Structure 1
């Protein structure tokens, strides 16, 4: 039985024997739009069988079409008894028919879709209408139309299944058919991935993800300046590119120069622009800003902002915030940063002889570094450190139960740099422990069952430059001690690196052991970084320091400049409670920040108290086979 009959829509029901049970709401809406655009006609007849209920029919195949018609009827666009053309079949084959319709089907070839969409687009039909007409998305329509950029030769290769769809879409980044065919023919058959094709076609282009484009405001800024931009519809990550490199460089230069002009107006002796932070800057002497106390009004504002910051942060973390909380949080954070920045100012005499660099950071954001002294500047630097508050202090404290505070990432890095310097200096004078540490590290590298994170030694001798993490390296006892040792070795080592090997062969074992200890010491790295806390490496550094019997109090003394002036008053209270008890911390809440820091320095003096990140952590006892027991045995 295959008769075509017309049935009222409200007489059609879902067939329990239909194998397809799940339908997308969006898909039904798109199909309803397609039916609407074609004058409420259904291109393909529904397949039905008689129901046990008199006058009703069950839809074996075409349930999605029925649901789309029901949607239109509920919207009042068609009558509820709208007549639907159906094919009637015997109920005994209902499951087979339903299964065949859902499985035995093939999507339209992309190039055929492209050709069909082009016909409509050439007639002037908007992309949105084409998408609605065929129940698809505007993105799909745009992507199909973008295939017009591809050479007909390559399109035919795709039709003949000699090329994948991903490979075909990679060619849409250019309209040059000759270049497309040249790239395809030049690439080896095993090296024709979509990524390789795009890369070859974009060799003279700059991607939207390039930090220079990000810096000037994206591809939109290039378009606004009259530059040529091409967006790759098939690359969701790239976002597009431009071949107008000269324009990008000009826009970058203009923005850097505009920022540099502002700095020159602040009185700096020189200001230089660079696409990225200059390597020479790492070797230059540097002046740092001086601490400037806030006025009473500013301090009161900062206190209130601190409370607002804490309250908003708690609301956001607990999902109890209103819709405006995040925007208010950003405003509060920006104001706190502005007030904290005002606590550090360069002296006029310093800006008159020092300079600044204006450049782009790794993420495409503006980076300004100030206070550099050129090599020919022989004047003495008056360096003072200011407060580097982490913006998380809370002034509503009770001495009996001080709230937790957060140390800033910069301070955490400096404190662990102090600790690293001390371990380095001690290890340099203990060659036996250094030898054991080096052997331990080498074993980790040669035995692949171990992990390289289990040691704090960086035996490629990639020595972290601690001076970059410490505001006043000249005051770091560990750095000074190791620099003096390096200067002494510098008098004995040959000046020509080519002569170093023969020189080493002529040295005694004791001298080589001393050099080994020095080299190992230079590689110690116990830093905690903002983007990577290096937990396992720092744990090994504590083990190494324990074997060396290091007394960190002999290497680091907390002062207002290197610690207390750079943490919140909650942190100061916590330190005083640890060092001397609750009574000594009870008055901190009523003091100004600068007074609290000076008070802490006086009270902490002579107690041996150290910030947690500088201390040598207590270690759990190790088993007899533990590597650190072997270190201890070597030390003995």
Structure 2
């Protein structure tokens, strides 16, 4: 005989006046959490009560109903209604939907309260993202959604962006196949196909950290802080159809410009427009480029223009600015700290006065017709116009009496040797080189890299020699004595002692911005302003210099002849550089470096991905980290791919003073900066370098600097 299924009876529901309800002490919720009572009250006022209260009759001493009802489940809703009653927005006798429990039931009030709070399934973050998206599609604005759910507008934008990720990736996230942080990283790009491609490339890889996903999604883009982007302007780029990728979840420095080709075209077009305007001035030639290599004007004669005189109105403005500056200085003399507005005003005055000092220059029309201009983009994204350079072939012929009585052209000097540029394929701003074989062989540095490194050293050595006249004099005398006593051929008149300027056929992109380059250029410009153009006047000026100035000028001129470049040798005994000549050159360069006290670290050279680490093998990278930070630091990155290894090595080597062999002094200990004990490194490494996932999780929970995740709460 079959057993009859027992039927259940649900508790009845009815409306009970608000003033007949009281809170129960059986409610298990004690700690405030979630939406505040104030926000819940506003939500009830807007949309009404979505869920009734769970109540039980209040019994007297004889177990008879008193007409009052206590609330074991729904206390927060009751307090929100109570707030509305106090604000007179809800009547005291307003009916409240309630589910009334039978007092004879065997279920405790605490049981009901606990069940109502524990058996609710929290909403998956993805459902919330999609719900926000649905509200947006149905006409609600981002501000309206934010107001309805009591969250900042930026949170709504973040969650809408998360909902716009590829449906395939959203399903993966819903099935716990990726973390919320990884999903956030994919919002950088709106290209679903590219998002899925990157996920396929990283899902089975050990390196699928959010930063790696962002890097792969933006590897072919251009930073908004790039000088080309600043020069063109983000508005102009977007007006031309360009797309700017933004990261709503962390600082992105203005974002990324997706179409690099479009940006280059816009930059070239704007430079061309600027060049067309400058061409109206009558110059013979104008060279236009995004940037020019260091020393690009070598071999060209620079015209000495005449600064335009200051007008009466400009002088009056200058006097007024100086008077205002002096008044502010006197007013706040002795103050520990200037008010922000005063400090800002002083800075504005200093900038304005500096602009007046940089006077426009006038050139002789006869010079303009044979001279040219370099037009490029400065490091800060502004237009850089360098006027007034005459090529040797454009010089006006100067006749002198030759031995046969005929006129001969004057010697105008050798033109500058062209810079040799190499094609470098880059992705994300880093050179693309194939992964090295998994061996530990330390291969020789590439010749091209050694030439670039020694170009840095040559420039730094020139700067050091120019600041040490004693060494410069010794070097010059050594050269002259060698010429005089070692039977070397000497062509020309009674005495020839010349410095042949050495050009850099290979140079890295950062050479022209190095501290040495800036120091050499500043010194050259400082001397140039004082040197007369006329030959006889130049002789008289030099003759009148004091000994200190003569020595400084000598040191500066001699420094231009320094050649510490490593170059390929001629293996076939031709007219090129021999192996013996190279060794002699580098040996003398080491001697000069010791005499000048040259330190390439103090000269400003630091190992980066671009100038060294991205150009050498993984074994070389590990060797550098091992020398500078010890064996353990090297072991922590030896499992990384080359691009990531180079990036981490740059961070580890920062401020260690480590130098590659071509930049070290001859007697330097190559392992001086390494930890001789091979002990623990104090360097704080990124979490992905650790294999202990539990430890990483613990660190994430206790790190006070970790930004709070507000995209899904």
TM range, normalised to the smaller chain?
A: 0.5 to 0.7
Q: Which residue of 1 aligns with 2:240?
A: 225
Measured at CA, do residues 74 and 142 of structure 1 come closer, stay the same or move farther in structure 2, by a change above 3 Å? farther
Among 198, 222, 231, the alignment partner of 1:206 is 222
Structure 1 segments unaligned to the other structure (5+ residues): 51-55, 382-416, 432-460, 533-636
Q: Which residue of 2 aligns with 1:469?
A: 522
Q: Which residue of 1 aligns with 2:200?
A: 185
Separation in structure 1 between the aligned mates of residue 339 and residue 317 of structure 2, nearest angstrom: 25
Separation in structure 1 between the aligned mates of residue 340 and residue 361 of structure 2, nearest angstrom: 36
Measured at CA, do residues 297 and 109 of structure 1 come closer, stay the same or move farther in structure 2, by a change above 3 Å? same
Q: Which residue of 1 aligns with 2:669?
A: none
Q: Which residue of 2 aligns with 1:132?
A: 147
Aligned residue pairs total 450
State yes or no: 1:518 paired with 2:602.
no
Q: Deviations over 1:395-425 (max 9, x none)?
A: xxxxxxxxxxxxxxxxxxxxxx999655422
- 8 A contact 2:272–2:288 mirrored in 1: yes
Among 469, 480, 488, the alignment partner of 1:425 is 469
Displacement of 1:305 in angstroms is 0.5
SS of structure 2 residue aligned to 1:189:
coil
Separation in structure 2 between the aligned mates of residue 76 and residue 280 of structure 1, nearest angstrom: 80
Higher helix share: 1
Measured at CA, do residues 98 and 372 of structure 1 come closer, stay the same or move farther in structure 2, by a change above 3 Å? farther
Displacement of 1:66 in angstroms is 8.1
What TM-score comes out, normalization by structure 1 length? 0.53
- 8 A contact 2:465–2:556 mirrored in 1: no
Displacement of 1:270 in angstroms is 3.4
Q: Which residue of 2 aligns with 1:122?
A: 137
Q: Which residue of 1 aligns with 2:286?
A: 271
Q: Which residue of 2 aligns with 1:502?
A: 580
Q: Which residue of 2 aligns with 1:591?
A: none
Separation in structure 2 between the aligned mates of residue 428 and residue 83 of structure 1, nearest angstrom: 100
Displacement of 1:259 in angstroms is 2.8
Q: Which residue of 1 aligns with 2:176?
A: 161
Q: Deviations over 1:205-236 (max 9, x none)?
A: 33433332222221x32232344444443453
Separation in structure 2 between the aligned mates of residue 250 and residue 137 of structure 1, nearest angstrom: 39
Q: Deviations over 1:573-601 (max 9, x none)?
A: xxxxxxxxxxxxxxxxxxxxxxxxxxxxx
Displacement of 1:38 in angstroms is 1.6
Structure 2 segments unaligned to the other structure (5+ residues): 1-10, 59-67, 102-107, 399-411, 413-460, 476-513, 532-548, 572-576, 607-713
State yes or no: 1:251 paired with 2:266.
yes
Separation in structure 2 between the aligned mates of residue 352 and residue 308 of structure 1, nearest angstrom: 44
Displacement of 1:312 in angstroms is 5.5
Among 181, 187, 206, the alignment partner of 1:172 is 187
Displacement of 1:76 in angstroms is 6.9
Q: Which residue of 2 aligns with 1:215?
A: 231
Separation in structure 1 between the aligned mates of residue 347 and residue 149 of structure 2, nearest angstrom: 44
Larger radius of gyration: 2
Measured at CA, do residues 504 and 308 of structure 1 come closer, stay the same or move farther in structure 2, by a change above 3 Å? same
Q: Which residue of 2 aligns with 1:408?
A: none
Q: For 1:175-574, what aligned pairs fall within 5 Å after superposition?
A: 175-187=190-202, 188-218=204-234, 220-237=235-252, 239-281=254-296, 283=298, 284-287=300-303, 289-290=305-306, 294=310, 298-311=314-327, 318=337, 320=339, 332=349, 335-342=352-359, 345-349=361-365, 351-378=368-395, 423-428=467-472, 464=517, 466-470=519-523, 471-473=525-527, 477=550, 480-482=553-555, 485=558, 496=569, 502-503=580-581, 516-520=590-594, 524=598
Measured at CA, do residues 512 and 366 of structure 1 come closer, stay the same or move farther in structure 2, by a change above 3 Å? closer
Identify which range, 281-290 or 131-140, moves more after superposition. 281-290
Displacement of 1:103 in angstroms is 11
Displacement of 1:468 in angstroms is 0.7
Measured at CA, do residues 303 and 148 of structure 1 come closer, stay the same or move farther in structure 2, by a change above 3 Å? same
State yes or no: 1:38 paired with 2:61.
no
- 8 A contact 1:268–1:354 mirrored in 2: yes
Separation in structure 1 between the aligned mates of residue 284 and residue 148 of structure 2, nearest angstrom: 66
Displacement of 1:113 in angstroms is 0.8
- 8 A contact 2:17–2:92 mirrored in 1: no
Q: For 1:92-111, what aligned pairs fall within 5 Å after superposition?
A: 108-111=123-126
